Amino acid sequence: MTWTIDSAWRKGADDTLTAARLYSVANASAAPGSGTLRGAATWTTTSDLSNPLFDLSYESNVFDLSSAANGTYDLFATNCCRVGGVMNTNSQSAFSQWVRFTKTGAGTYNLPPVFNRPSLYLIIDPAVTTTADFSAVDPENTAVTYSSITTTSSPYYGGTTLPCSSITSGVLRLSSSLCSGSDVFSNIYQAGTYWTAKVQATDADGNFAVVDTLFRVISTPAPVITGSTAVGNHTTYEFATAAPDTNVDTYTVMCTSTTNAQDVLTGTASSSPVTIPGFTPGSSYRCDVTAVNSAGTGVNHQQYAVGPVVLEGLSLGLDLTAGQSLSGAVAHLFGGNLQPNSAFQLTLEGGGVVLNQGLADSSGNFNVDVTLTQQACPAGVHRLVLSGLSRSATTLTDTVWVELNSSCSVIRSSRTEITEAPQLAMTGFSATPYLALGSGFVFLGLLLILAKRRRNSN
């Protein structure tokens, strides 16, 4: 027989369990802890540390029951020290699990209920009802009843029932609406405190199993950037973020260039990672992170370092806001590690207009600022495409979509396709034939090449 114990621990506080022990008891109604020790399990443990809120421990206990007599048995495991202070656990350093089953014959057993999907770790948010599902199914298909474990008699460590809670049909609910007497939810469940709920599921034959959930009351997050990865053409970064021990509704990462205070980039996400596009090739940045939940806002002026940014491919930088005229806007054209001396161009697809063209240098790089003119102003939905050739001579592109009114004012712009104006469908204009012309390009006289780049945050 194999008994697996899954348990949740505070980050860095995984002490795991000792080998489980086997006890024989008189019958299914015998008191907990009244059995006779019959031996210990062969056991192994593994841990999962990937969750930023908690650690998981998995213990597998193997018992050889081939020579055991028919009868009722308890399996029990315990260890110190789970968390240095669980508010409703009388023996605060103790953690334990146990099951009761019956051997009915050679290799046959009457087994305890099996929990469906127990929550091992949950955040208590005073603003909402916290729900833990302890429902279980009996392998022998008998009815299952549920009870909270409140005894502290050794070796079955429990605790007092969670204040302001109820358990019905295996579902535990925790809410201010369930408080009684002098209990005040906010006074009891203070930010950052740990609590535990241990629930026993018992079948009609008296066999039972126990599951344990560790709770932590939500607190203002203390966020941190734990890593970053350059993706795509390496002007976009994904930031891994975490806020140990608490939930986060929103992460915001803000990066500022170390050489240009106006070059500020911001990204927001409901979970890690936070993706931010538009980093300037050649620039370095320092990044801070903010996290928000119902308990408050946490800010970490971490100054996480990114860069220097090394472009791999093409980057079209075009910062536009609604109402801004596209005529006069500056497009920042970058190329890195392209085919040496290869052609690049900026086109307005949907109008079939080449707005700028030129050559990469002998290292395959270019950096050009272009001021757009009325030539880029036909009304409707258009796609500005920067095109170039990779070192293997395949065509690369970077794209910005824009919708203009009849006055050349921006209605909206996006890195993804704008589809709400089908009457202004793409013309099918392709940049590829132009790129093959190589160094024969002549710059358009209507465009002004700027020597200095200045970019606002987006």
Give per-residue pLDDT as tens, 236-252.
999 999 987 788 999 99
Does 330 have pLDDT greater than 80? Answer: yes
Looking at residue 422, its pLDDT comes to: 40
186 and 261 in contact (C-beta within 8 Å)?
no
Please state which of the ranges 200-204, 261-265, 316-320 shows the lowest mean pLDDT: 316-320
Per-residue model confidence (pLDDT) at position 429: 35
Q: Is residue 346 within 8 Å of residue 384, measured between CB atoms?
A: yes
Is the confidence at residue 55, as pLDDT, over 90? no
Per-residue CA distances from 207 to 31, 32, 99, 168, 210 (Å): 12, 12, 8, 20, 11
Q: What is the pLDDT of residue 31?
A: 79
- pTM: predicted TM-score of the whole model, two decimal places: 0.63
| The pLDDT value given to residue 436 | 41
**Among 17, 154, 15, which residue's Cα sits nearest to residue 81?**
15
Residue 156's pLDDT band (boundaries 50, 70, 90)?
low
Give the model confidence (pLDDT) of 20-46 as tens digits: 889 999 988 887 778 898 888 888 888
Q: pLDDT grade, residue 373 (50/70/90)?
A: confident
Q: How many helices (H) and strands (E) does the chain have?
A: 2, 33
Residue 163 has pLDDT above 60, yes or no: yes
Angstrom distance (rounded) from CA 59 to CA 42: 10
Q: What is the pLDDT of residue 375?
A: 79
- CA within 13 Å, CB half, 172: 30
Instruction: Note whether 344 and 333 are within 8 A (CB).
Output: yes
What pLDDT does residue 445 have?
30
**What's the token pair of residue 64?**
């050889």
pLDDT at residue 79 tops 80: no
Outline which parts of the chain fall under CATH 2.60.40.10.
224-306
Q: Does position 96 have pLDDT exceeding 60, yes or no?
A: yes
Q: What is residue 329's predicted lDDT score, i.e. its pLDDT?
A: 92
Report strand pairing: 285-293 vs 250-257.
antiparallel
CB 198 within 8 A of CB 210: yes
Which pLDDT band, with edges at 50, 70 and 90, does 93 fall under?
Answer: low
For residue 80, the 8-state DSSP code is E
Residue 6 has pLDDT above 80, yes or no: yes
Q: Classify domain 313-450 by CATH number.
A: 2.60.40
Residue 378: pLDDT band (50, 70, 90) is confident
For residue 64, the tally of other CB atoms under 10 A from its CB is: 11
Q: Which residue has the tokens 């090739």?
A: 281
Cα separation of 402 and 327, whole Å? 13
The side-by-side arrangement of strands in the sheet containing 2-10 is 2-10, 54-62, 42-48
Homologous superfamily in CATH for domain 224-306? Immunoglobulins (2.60.40.10)
Instruction: Please check whether residue 309 is in contact with residue 288, taking contact to mean a CB–CB distance below 8 angstroms.
Output: no
The pLDDT of residue 80 is: 66
pLDDT for position 159: 66
pLDDT band (50, 70, 90) for residue 457: very low
Residue 273 confidence (pLDDT)? 96
Please report the pLDDT score of residue 114 as a whole number: 93
User: What is the separation of C-alpha 257 from the centre of its chain, rounded to a whole number of angstroms?
Assistant: 26
Strands 136-137 and 171-174, how do they pair? Answer: unpaired
Average pLDDT over residues 207-227: 91
- Residue 189, pLDDT > 70, answer yes
Q: Has domain 2-217 been given CATH number 2.60.40.60?
A: yes
Decide if pLDDT at 340 tops 80.
yes
- Choose from 55-59, 211-215, 218-222 the range with maximum mean pLDDT: 218-222
pLDDT of residue 155: 56
